[in-house]
Structures are given as structure tokens and as C-alpha cells.
Amino acid sequence: MAPPSLLAAAERLAVLLSAGAGGALPVADPEGSDLELEPVVTPRPLARRAAPPEVWAVDGGQALVADARCVQVLVTRAARARFLGQDCVLEEEGELRAWLVGGGEERVAAASLGLGVAPGVAVDVNLLRDYGEWERLARSVEEAAPGALVLRDGALRPDLRIPCAFAAAVLARAAERGVTVASVTKHSSLSRGGAPLLGQLEIEAATTLGPRATWWAPLGRIKASLGLDVQVVAARLDPDAPFAFRVDLSAEADAEAVLGTLSAWCDDAAFPGYPYPLSVADRLAGCPSWLRHEVRLDLDDHLDLAGVPVEVRERAFADRHALMERA
């Protein structure tokens, strides 16, 4: 039987989902983002253009290998793919990197990042994965030819613990080399009237522009005080796509033109509306359970050589909660 509180939650959710429709309320970010948001957001038509001659895509993955709660062993990697014309000419899984966090070991991990992360800052898998993605993005910018498009999964605002100056330097270098950098966020926290903004824009665009229209809408910019000049937009990039996405671009980019060329890569039947090169990078970066298991076996081999008894390891890393539930 559903709890009585579910009715109250459903009634309140119904109000939130309906309140922001029509664009009368301001756009907000419940996560307290660093965006200066547009007061009114309206979808505009978007025409598909020819695909860029070269596309790079970067994404990251992570896995928890061993968890003693006070100390953990994590692995991350950043993968990338390169396309010339319609051909994928590079699939690079990226180096699998192991990290020890907890018990003060974060100091070692933070010191190895080289991104100007402040001493004593909390280090977790999100920071470590983000570090790898930005490192690989910077390398792709250097290797890309002028006119290329370099894509990243996520936002162009790096992890809050990474100085914006690092990301700004990558974007400045891209501009010097004639390379466009864009990022695509699959699940945005932006809202209007407390309800998801992108869902409302999808409904509005279907009404005003047509159910199969491709469209885009300026959402805002990263705050200038951060020294990171980035514009943020929403876009539906394929007429068969059920969803729109948040896209971040450097401020000097012609957003409509870049989105038009990006849409040429968003017509894959399996991932309509999402850039196919990023779906390839996502697959390469994934850390599935079999990989986690293999790394754990390798970890045990090294601990064996170090003379750590099996029973000590089992007591450290056993999931007591799962064992009790299984019983």
C-alpha cells in the first residue's frame, strides 16, 4: 500500500510540473550554479548544416574497486574517439588509473593532478574523473586540425575544485588553433518554476515550431567573474530525438552555426539527438563490472606479494550490509 505521504508529494509535484509552463517564471539552477541566466528562454528554429571535417569526442568513466569506507581504491579513465568525415579513425580507451583515497591519501592524489587544486581539498572520484577528461580534452585540442570540433560529455565549467583558469586556457588554445570546443550535458539541473527546464522547452517548441522541428535556445553564460567565457544553450538536434540537451560553447562561437554542424552527427538511430562520436567515447570509457573484478584480482595479487593476509583483506573490504541482507 502506498504511504499517505505519497499523495501529498504527488500533489506538490503536479503543481511544480505545471507552474513553469509558458515561460512566465525565471530560469534557475537548484544546484547553485555559476550561470548568469537569461530572463526569458524561447526556442528558435535550427537548420542542419554540413558536418565538420574532423570531430573528436572525450568522455570519462570510473569504478570503485575496493571499499573499506575509511579508505577506497578507485579507477578512472578518459577515452576519446576521432572521426574524419564519416569514418572513425581512432578509438582510444585511455589509461586505466588507480587511486587511493581516504585516510589522508587524498593529499597524494591531489598533488599528482597538476591542475592547481588547493591543498587539503576533498578528493573524490568525480574530481579524479573530471581531471582525466580535461587532460584528454586539452590533448585533443592540440592534435585537432583547424576547423575541427572537439566534444566533451558534461559541462565546460570544470569541477568546482579545479581552477577555472585551467579550463579557460584550454579554450583559449582552441581559439588560437581554430578549433571549436563544445560540451553536451545529458541531464541538466536547470529549472523553471521548480520543474525541469528542458522538458518544458521541448513541449513549447513542439507547439510553436512543430513536433519534428529542430531548435535551440540561449540559456545564459558562465559568470564573467570566474574568468571562463562560456555560453550555455539548449538544443534539440534531430527531428526524431525525444529529448533536448544542454550544450556549452566558448562565448565567441556562433552558437547557431556550431549547433547546425553538430546536428549532422545526431541522427544515429540508437542515440537520436545525441552526438554519435560522444556515444562512442562513452562506450570506450565505461568501466563495467568485469573490469572492476579484474582490477580487484590484480590488487589482491599485489597485496599477496606485500604480505597482507587474505583474512585481513576480507575484514577490511567485506560488505557487511550486503552479507546481512543476503542472509
Whether residue 301 sits in one domain with residue 158: no
Does residue 327 have a pLDDT over 80?
A: no
Mean pLDDT of 82-100: 93
Report pLDDT for 166: 87
**Cα–Cα dist 219/155, whole Å:** 13
Top pLDDT among 118 and 22 is at: 118
Would you say residue 187 lies in a domain? Answer: yes
Select, from the ranges 13-27, 287-301, 305-319, the one with the highest average predicted confidence (pLDDT): 287-301
Whether residue 109 sits in one domain with residue 244: yes
Number of domains present in the structure of the chain: 2
15, 50, 197 from 9: Cα distances, Å: 10, 47, 20
Whether residue 201 sits in one domain with residue 166: yes
Q: What type of residue is 248?
A: D
C-alpha cell at 235: 538544443
Asked if 199 contacts 166 with a C-beta cutoff of 8 angstroms, the reply is no
Mean pLDDT of 163-173: 91
Whether residue 50 sits in one domain with residue 184: yes
Q: What type of residue is 165?
A: A
HEC letters along 231-261? EEEEEECCCCCCCCEEEEEECCCCHHHHHHH
Whether residue 158 sits in one domain with residue 306: no
**Cα–Cα dist 111/197, whole Å:** 39
Whether residue 306 sits in one domain with residue 245: no
Asked if 108 contacts 40 with a C-beta cutoff of 8 angstroms, the reply is no
Whether residue 236 sits in one domain with residue 195: yes
Mean pLDDT of 304-321: 82
Whether residue 315 sits in one domain with residue 180: no
Mean pLDDT of 10-24: 74
Report pLDDT for 145: 97
**Cα–Cα dist 250/301, whole Å:** 47
Whether residue 277 sits in one domain with residue 156: yes
Report pLDDT for 22: 59
Q: Give the start-end residues of each E strand in 29-95.
A: 35-37, 44-45, 54-67, 72-84, 87-92
Indicate the SS3 state at residue 178: coil
Would you say residue 154 lies in a domain? Answer: yes
Would you say residue 28 lies in a domain? Answer: no
Give percent of the chain with pLDDT exceeding 70. Answer: 90
- For the chain, give the number of residues: 327
pLDDT tens, position by position, 181-240: 999 998 888 888 888 899 999 999 999 999 999 999 999 998 888 889 999 999 999 999
Phi, psi of 132 (to 5 degrees): -65, -40
Report pLDDT for 287: 92
Q: Judging by DSSP bridges, how do beta strands 87-92 and 180-185 pair with one another? A: unpaired
Query: What are residue 55's DSSP bridge partners?
Result: 83, 149
Mean pLDDT of 105-122: 69
Q: What CATH number does the domain containing 225 carry?
A: 3.30.2170
Whether residue 273 sits in one domain with residue 302: no
Range of the domain at 314: 290-320
Q: What type of residue is 245?
A: F
Q: What is the mean pLDDT of the chain?
A: 88
Would you say residue 26 lies in a domain? Answer: no
Indicate the SS3 state at residue 97: strand
C-alpha cell at 274: 545525441
Report pLDDT for 114: 65
Whether residue 233 sits in one domain with residue 150: yes
Would you say residue 34 lies in a domain? Answer: no
Whether residue 273 sits in one domain with residue 137: yes
pLDDT tens, position by position, 244-276: 999 999 989 999 999 999 999 999 888 889 999
Q: What type of residue is 271?
A: F
State the pTM of this model: 0.89
C-alpha cell at 212: 519534428
pLDDT tens, position by position, 31-71: 666 888 888 899 999 999 999 999 999 999 999 999 988 88
